Structure 1
Amino acid sequence: MRRILRDLKILILANLWIVPVLAALVGALFYFVAPPPPMHARMATGAPGGGYHAFAERLRDELALQGFELELVPSQGSRDNLAKLGQGAVELALVQSGQELTLDDEQRDRLSGLGVMYREPLWLFTGADVKFERLADLRELRLAIGSQDSGTQAVTAALLAANRIEAADYPERWQQIGGSRAADALTAGELDAAFFVGPAENALIQRLATEPGLRLVSLRRTEAYLARLPYLSRLEVGEGMLDMAQNTPDQDIVTLGPVATLVAGESFHPSLTPLILEAARTVLKNGSLLDPAGSYPARPPLSLRTLDEAEYYYDKGLPILQRYLPFRIASLADRYIILAIPLLVLLFPLFKAIGPIYQWRIRARIYRWYKHLREIDQQLYKGSLNGDIGAEIARLEKLEDELARVEVPLSYSSELYELHMHLRYMIERLHAVQRRRAIAAAQ
């Protein structure tokens, strides 16, 4: 064991040169590696109490379990969310599909779609006695079309425009209000009908569904609308789906609606994509009244650029390391593994050179003694060895003593012993020369 430890010590000492080389390579790795993704982001959520805000709160709580902080930033709706993304005020926002089409190509290219989170039905509630067949019937009604610049108004305006109806033509009967304000006016009888956009579970929608004086009506000609407005989707709502006690709706109906899309701005770190989408999948795993379990998140609309990380997630799921490790550790490992590959490529020839260099270093300990022996041998051969031979013998005997303290691995001992023999041989030769000179001097 002592011999093994000594050989190991010699091996380490003979290759100390590799320490600064490795330090330089590892230092370069840490210098050039991209910094880890931030564990904080801001998300525009719409008004408190709305569907967007409720979803964002659940997403925030789920991300907090991974140590990620999602800061919720209230807004006035989808258009305001797009504006905040463009200004860099937030990294994420929920946006109603179709709203991105209001941007020019340059503005839209700066955004990325992470995925569709859920469908947002358009609900048209009317008074119980109001007669409604088609959107054209709304011309004679007191109607709430959604607050200005809201997602509700954007959808209703698109549907009305498809019928060549402009809200501006009915300023006395149609009002630009939405949310709780429109709901209060409708239940108080100040309006005949009102449009709302939001999930079936939304508190406001549930409130309206329980009002006995209101009726949820069906939209007809949905295929014609979808052909003109492809960012909308068709939704079938079964009888009693919203409220079974009040039987709302009182028959199977069909409606339309956009989808809530999670959109990222330029300041969003792409490496956060799988973390955000997996948290959203957990939040949405049980589905909703209208969305089957496991349906969302889904690929974003084609009108938005999709991040490569999102494409990978939808094709293959979470990156391998993130399936088994916390996000922070997995993302660091991913980044260092990628940069470690070229490091290993550099280290392979480096370690391959250790053997020959080690062999050269050990033999150099032995062979450096031969230089002096060779010089003496040549002088003896040429007869040019002058001076005090006794001093030369003393010098070689001193070298012999030093050589006895040289440590080499066991595998190189034969070469060391050969040097001992050659050194002793040279000393004996010098003694012979010394004796001959002494005899010659005595004669």
Structure 2
Amino acid sequence: MRRILRDLKIMLLTNLWIVPVVAALVGALFYFVAPPPPMHARMATGAVGGGYHTFAERLRDELALQGFSLDLVESAGSADNLDKLGRGDVELALVQSGQELTLSDEARSTLNGLGVMYREPLWLFLGDTAKFERLSDLIKLRLAIGSANSGTQAVTAALFAANRIEPPQYPQHWQQMGGSKAAEALIAGELDAAFFVGPAENALIQRLAAEPKVRLASLRRTEAYLARLPYLSRLEVGEGMLDMQHNTPDRDIVTLGPVATLVAGEAFHPSLTPLILEAAKTVLKHGSLLDPAGSYPAKPPLSLNTLSEAEYYYDKGLPILQRYLPFRIASLADRYIILAIPLLVLLFPLFKAIGPIYQWRIRARIYRWYKHLREIDQQLYKGSLPSDLDAEIARLERLEDELARVEVPLSYSSELYELHIHLRYVVERLHSLKAKNQAAPE
């Protein structure tokens, strides 16, 4: 056992040179690998109680299970969300499709669409006595077109513009009003009609659906609108879909609506994309009254750039490591694997060389002694040995004593013993030469 430990010590000391080499390569790996993505982000959500904020709260809770912190930032709507993204106040925001078209090409190039989260129907609720066939009929009515700079007003403005009804032509009895304020005015009879944008499950939409004093209108000529406003989508709402008790709507209707798109700014770390989208998929897995289960998230609109990570997610799903490991661990492993491959390529020939180098260094401990034997052998051949053979013999015997203290692994002992034999052979030759010289007549 002691011999084995000694051989192991010799081997380790002999190959000690590899430690700084490997340390340098590993250090380079940690130096050049990209830092892990942050485990927190800020998201602009719209007003509290709105569809965006409700979805963001569910997304935040789902991400928290992965140790990711999502801070929700209230806003005035899609336009405000885009401003916050542009200023870098937030990394993520929910934006109504079509709003990005109001930006310059340069500003839009700094944004990336992560995906469509759900559809946002446009609801037109009418009072008891209001008559409606086409949008032009609303000119005569007291109408709420949505709050200033809101997503609702953006959609209604686009629909009116398709009918060549521009803001300067808006009647004075139209009001820039939305949300609960518009709902209260409609129920109180202060408005004849009001537009709202939001999911069918939204509390405000559900309240209006249960209100007997208002009814839900159906939009006509939807194909004509879609041809002019491709960022909108057509939605069919079946009888009683919003409220079966009150049978709202009281017949099958058709409406239009944008889609809620999750948009990332320049400060967003692309590696977080699969984590965010998988959490959104979990939140949306059961669908909604209008969106079938498993429909969303979906690829973002073509009007926005798409991160390669998002493309991969929609085409192939989660990265392989994230399918089996927590995000934080998978993210680190993924980064180190990328650089570990070239590191292994370098280490393979390095470790392959350990054997020959080890063999050479051990044998060098033995073979260097042959230098002295070779010098004496050459002098014997040339007859040029010094006259004082006793001094040369004493020098070789000292070498023999030093050689006895040389340590080599057990597997190389035979070569060490061969050196002892050769050294003794040369010493005997010198003794023979000395005796021959002494016996020669003067």
Separation of aligned partners in 2, 1:276 and 1:127:
41
Separation of aligned partners in 2, 1:365 and 1:335:
44
Aligned equivalent of 2:202: 202
- Does the CA-based 8 Å contact 1:167-1:174 persist in structure 2? no
Map 1:196-275 → 2, pairs under 5 A: 196-275=196-275
- Is 2:61 the counterpart of 1:61? yes
Residue 194 of structure 1 aligns to a residue whose secondary structure is: strand
Separation of aligned partners in 2, 1:290 and 1:167:
32
Moved more, 102-111 or 380-389: 380-389
Separation of aligned partners in 2, 1:4 and 1:292:
70
Aligned equivalent of 2:49: 49
* Post-superposition offset of 1:383: 2.0
- Does the CA-based 8 Å contact 1:159-1:225 persist in structure 2? yes
- Does the CA-based 8 Å contact 2:42-2:71 persist in structure 1? yes
List per-residue Cα deviations over 1:236-294 (Å, max 9, x = no partner). Answer: 11111111111111111110000000000011100000000000001111111111111
Separation of aligned partners in 2, 1:240 and 1:5:
84
Moved more, 351-360 or 402-411: 402-411
Map 1:220-369 → 2, pairs under 5 A: 220-369=220-369
Separation of aligned partners in 2, 1:355 and 1:128:
93
List per-residue Cα deviations over 1:15-54 (Å, max 9, x = no partner). Answer: 1111101111111111111111011111000111100000
Q: Count matched residues.
A: 442
Separation of aligned partners in 2, 1:133 and 1:263:
36
List per-residue Cα deviations over 1:105-127 (Å, max 9, x = no partner). Answer: 11111100000000000000011
Residue 116 of structure 2 aligns to a residue whose secondary structure is: strand
Map 1:138-149 → 2, pairs under 5 A: 138-149=138-149
Residue 46 of structure 2 aligns to a residue whose secondary structure is: coil
Map 1:73-88 → 2, pairs under 5 A: 73-88=73-88
Q: What letter matches 2:49 in structure 1?
A: G
Q: What letter matches 2:16 in structure 1?
A: L
- Does the CA-based 8 Å contact 2:139-2:171 persist in structure 1? no
Aligned equivalent of 2:408: 408
- 5+ long unaligned stretches in structure 1: none
Separation of aligned partners in 1, 2:420 and 2:151:
95
Separation of aligned partners in 1, 2:428 and 2:356:
35
Separation of aligned partners in 2, 1:61 and 1:166:
42
- Is 2:380 the counterpart of 1:374? no
Aligned equivalent of 1:98: 98
Identity of aligned residues (%): 84
Residue 364 of structure 2 aligns to a residue whose secondary structure is: helix
Aligned equivalent of 1:136: 136
Moved more, 162-171 or 92-101: 162-171
Aligned equivalent of 2:120: 120
- 5+ long unaligned stretches in structure 2: none
Aligned equivalent of 2:176: 176
Separation of aligned partners in 2, 1:156 and 1:125:
13
* TM norm structure 1: 0.97
* Post-superposition offset of 1:158: 0.6
* Post-superposition offset of 1:4: 4.1
Separation of aligned partners in 2, 1:378 and 1:258:
98
* Post-superposition offset of 1:395: 2.4
* Post-superposition offset of 1:129: 2.3
Q: What letter matches 1:286 in structure 2?
A: H
Q: What letter matches 1:125 in structure 2?
A: F
Moved more, 297-306 or 7-16: 7-16
- Does the CA-based 8 Å contact 1:239-1:248 persist in structure 2? yes
- Does the CA-based 8 Å contact 2:44-2:90 persist in structure 1? yes
Q: What letter matches 1:309 in structure 2?
A: E
* Post-superposition offset of 1:5: 3.7
Separation of aligned partners in 2, 1:188 and 1:437:
138
Q: What letter matches 2:436 in structure 1?
A: R
Q: What letter matches 2:11 in structure 1?
A: L
Aligned equivalent of 1:424: 424
Separation of aligned partners in 2, 1:6 and 1:237:
84
- Does the CA-based 8 Å contact 2:47-2:53 persist in structure 1? yes
Separation of aligned partners in 2, 1:200 and 1:27:
55
List per-residue Cα deviations over 1:142-184 (Å, max 9, x = no partner). Answer: 0000011100000001111111112432342100111111111
Separation of aligned partners in 1, 2:392 and 2:109:
87
Moved more, 352-361 or 45-54: 352-361
Separation of aligned partners in 1, 2:200 and 2:3:
79
Separation of aligned partners in 1, 2:383 and 2:419:
24
List per-residue Cα deviations over 1:62-82 (Å, max 9, x = no partner). Answer: 111111111111111001111
Moved more, 6-15 or 363-372: 6-15
* Post-superposition offset of 1:430: 1.4
